[in-house]
Amino acid sequence: MEKRLRKRATAAVSCSHRIIWIRMKPLRQSSSILTVISRRTANNGLGSKPAIYKRRRMMALTMGMNTGSSVDGIDVVLCEIEMDTDNQPKAPKFLGGATYEWPKELEALVRKCYSLEITLPELARLDYAVGALLADRCRTFMQENDIDYHDILALGVDGQVTYLEQPKHDIIDSMTQEQKEDWIGRWYNGPYPCGFWLGETSIISSLTNINTITHFRAADHVTGGNGGPLMQYFDYILFRHQEEPVMTLNIGGIANAHLAQKDRSQMYAFDTGPGNTMLDYTAKKFFGVSYDKNGEISSRGKVNEEVMAQLLSHPFFDRPIPRSPWLTDFSFGYADKLFAQFPQVKPEDFMKTFAHFTGEAIVRNMKDNIPKEQLEKVKVMYASGGGVRNQTIMGHLQEIMPYDIRLTTSDEIGIPAAYKECIKFATLAFASINGVADNIPAASHSGMYNILGRIHYAPWRAKGIF
């Protein structure tokens, strides 16, 4: 038995998409080991897939999925999560992950949503179709890795965000209790936030036969919270036992930063501005590639000070904190206006300027959002997301990082930078299905703790049928 349990996993990669497995630690042989869930070895020329084990009654296999605003891929992960003695999840153990493509037809329709060019019938069908797409990619991942749906506690996926309105915190803060009791008025021409996510929950759950939790932000919106970034709860789980505050950063299409510590009332989370969105668009428009691999294109350019001044004067920075941009703030259209306004600037110089602007906006928002006495205590920032592979962004950010904060990636703490967003949703799903409040009101400016997400139970769990 012990020899079986100490089996190691090696890396496996598929040519049609990317699969990453990590080496599993040896399992302790004890009476708490319940079942071996999967032990199939499939040699693909590079190695074998790991055996996955369920170890304790409080431990569960949980899946997470993520699809970002750039619509450039669908990530799927499998994690092992256990409840801790403080009734919060322990830090999840990442078991494996994969990335799958979007169908071009659905990607085009999602982009029509961004520009508000879609009809209501198209939107209704797209909502269901995206749910089916997410279910299909989840099924593919499970089939490729011999995962049985009976063994999965829950699947967490926010859905494909297509629209966001941020709360008007100054108005909400000045409202009387009587005004807040006008529930309809909160949203009907009111200051409370709202949004729309594609991917009908019941479609995903019914097709995968897994308890599914989606649409995590709305429960935070109810009392005026930003609803995002959603990373702050995951960071609390990772760092709540640390004595000193820790900063994290995610560089996706939009970048966001977070200050985590054991006192949830002293946590901060905020968007900082564009991450890769304008860089990816410029790379595709002028160089015919989907992104700036490792920052190679931007490294050849020079920062244009006129363009940088224009970027730093964006109205986004005049909004009250915490600020939250949307795609319309730093959209393809905004980039095109800059190209037209500065025709003499070379494409690679735009790339270098956009990359440095991402870093400048991160540091500016750190100083604007976090009190100096808190920021001075931070020793390290763990970065994740696709942007960490761009050495132009990361190199400049380290150069301008205040208070000698060390910049590294979340890989250093066992959370693959490419999959942190996805692991976050697995953790949120585990918390929500167990009835744990998984928002951070101090960070989101919400009025109360709440259990996030829309839950739809797996059909196989239905009772009273016979």
Q: What is the pLDDT of residues 384-433, one digit of tens each?
A: 999 999 999 999 999 999 999 999 999 999 999 999 999 999 999 999 99
Query: Tens digits of per-residue pLDDT, 213-262?
Result: 999 999 999 999 998 889 999 999 999 999 999 999 999 988 999 999 99
CA–CA distance from 279 to each of 289, 298, 350 (Å)?
Answer: 11, 9, 8
Query: pLDDT for 78-116, tens place per residue?
Result: 999 999 999 999 999 999 999 999 999 999 999 899 888
CA dihedral 148→150→156→162, nearest 10 degrees, is: 70
Q: Give the residue extent of every domain in the chain.
A: 1-57, 254-418
Q: What is the pTM of this model?
A: 0.85
Q: Strand, coil or helix: what is 251?
A: strand
Q: Is the peptide bond before 229 cis (omega within 30 degrees of 0)?
A: yes
The pairing of strands 152-157 and 212-214 is parallel
User: Tell me, what's the pLDDT at 327?
Assistant: 66
Question: What is the SS3 assignment for 363?
Answer: helix
Could you please report the per-residue DSSP string of 422-434? HHHHHHHHHHHHT
Which residues, in sequence order, are bridge partners of residue 66?
75
Beta bridge partners of residue 156, listed in sequence order: 64, 213
- Please provide residue 355's backbone torsions phi and psi, each rounded to the nearest 5 degrees: -65, -45
Distance in angstroms (rounded) separating the CA atoms of residues 44 and 234? 34
Closest CA to 421 of 227, 282, 233: 233
pLDDT of residue 33: 24
**Which residue from 403, 316, 390 is spatially nearest to 351, judged by alpha carbons?**
390
Q: Which CATH architecture has domain 254-418?
A: 2-Layer Sandwich (3.30)
Given a cut of 70, the residues of the chain with pLDDT beneath it are: 1-58, 326-327, 466
Helix, strand or coil, per DSSP, at residue 49: coil
- Enumerate residues 6+ apart whose C-beta is below 8 A from 6: 26, 27
For the chain, state the CA radius of gyration. 22
228: its two tokens = 């995002």
Q: What is the pLDDT of residue 322?
A: 75
Query: What pLDDT sits at residue 27?
Result: 29
Q: What pLDDT was estimated at residue 58? A: 61
Percent of the chain predicted with pLDDT > 70:
87
DSSP code for 83: B
